[in-house]
Amino acid sequence: MSGSLSVDRFRGAIVGLAVGDALGAPAGLPAGTWTASTAMALCLADSLVESEGFDPVDQLHRYVRWYRDGDYSSTGTCLGIGAPTRAAVERFERTGEAFPGDVDAAANGIEPLTRLAPVALTFAADPAHAAECAATSARTTHGGCETINGARALARLVALAASGRPTSDLMEPVAHETVATALRVLGATDGFEDATIAALEHEPAAATIVGQLAGAVYGFDAIPGRWRSDLAKIDWIMVVADALHSLAIAQPCDRTARFRPGTDRAMRFARSSGTS
């Protein structure tokens, strides 16, 4: 299936995520300014490329750099971090756990869904594996079953779309309410712009989720030029999308073997940072 993974759809999914994030950003920010969803997606993408696979501890190190130092941000500061993500990152700093996300149902949320495109794209040659990796990645900040199942469902859909499957093939029953809403929006509209605007009418974060999915379906060129030109650091985002594409088409069958649970590295980090 890797031969059907077009760079245009990869660019569409990553830029679409950032565009949706920027469109739903709080009022008062300059046009094209994106927030936590894109910043964490860039952390995740950078980890996948640099690790040549999936390493949750490396992902968390990058989330710490974003949270503490503003790395991977559009503004140079951490912008828009949610309470469960903040708690998980701070817990990782104390313990070095690979999966510090709270398992309490109260900690369920859609933040992991708004950043998952890099995982879905990296493993798009195997949508089932992409779904499981996205579910595992969600656990770095959110341990609730609802969130994990939502990440699993959305990642599979993004992977299928990135593989060239038409919208009609994506219309399947989904239990997670936000993902189901994104599918309804996608099915009721005819292009990236209409889908993203319709998503904003539901909730701002929905535009980020629909942006990933619609971007993978319609491709980069379908994203309106005015939104692309306003987008902060778009050149960087494009480089990231291309790097993910290269990663996805390079020996996709080896990806499962490159999963790293990270426990040994977590312990080394905890010792070196003086935490207990």
CATH number at residue 225: 1.10.4080.10
Tokens of 143: 């341990």
Tens of pLDDT, residue by residue over 231-240, are 999 999 999 9
Range of the domain at 241: 2-272
Measured between alpha carbons, how far is 181 from 184 in angstroms, rounded to an integer?
Answer: 5
Tens of pLDDT, residue by residue over 204-235, are 889 999 999 999 999 999 999 999 999 999 99
Per-residue pLDDT for 274 more than 60? no
Per-residue pLDDT for 32 more than 50? yes
* Mean pLDDT on 146-161: 97
Compute the mean pLDDT over every residue in the chain, rounded to the nearest whole number: 90
Per-residue pLDDT for 51 more than 90? yes
Burial 176-209 (b: 16+ CB within 10 A, else e): bebbebbbebbeebeebbebbebbbebebbbbbb
256: exposed, middle or buried (Cβ count in 10 Å: 0-12, 13-18, 19+): middle
Instruction: Look at residues 81, 80, 87 and name the one whose alpha carbon lies nearest to residue 104.
Output: 87
Report DSSP state, residue 25.
S
What number of other Cβ atoms are within 10 A of residue 124's Cβ?
32
What residues contact residue 172 under an 8 Å CB cut-off, 6+ apart? 183
Tokens of 228: 């692309």
**With a threshold of 0.95, does the pTM exceed it?**
no
What residues contact residue 105 under an 8 Å CB cut-off, 6+ apart? 144, 145, 146
Q: What is the pLDDT of residue 104?
A: 78
How many domains are contained in the chain?
A: 1
- Are 47 and 136 spatial neighbours (Cβ–Cβ below 8 Å)? no
Tens of pLDDT, residue by residue over 53-94, are 999 999 999 999 999 999 999 999 999 999 999 999 999 999
Instruction: Look at residues 155, 179, 176, 158 and name the one whose alpha carbon lies nearest to residue 167.
Output: 158
Instruction: Look at residues 272, 273, 274, 270 and name the one whose alpha carbon lies nearest to residue 100.
Output: 270
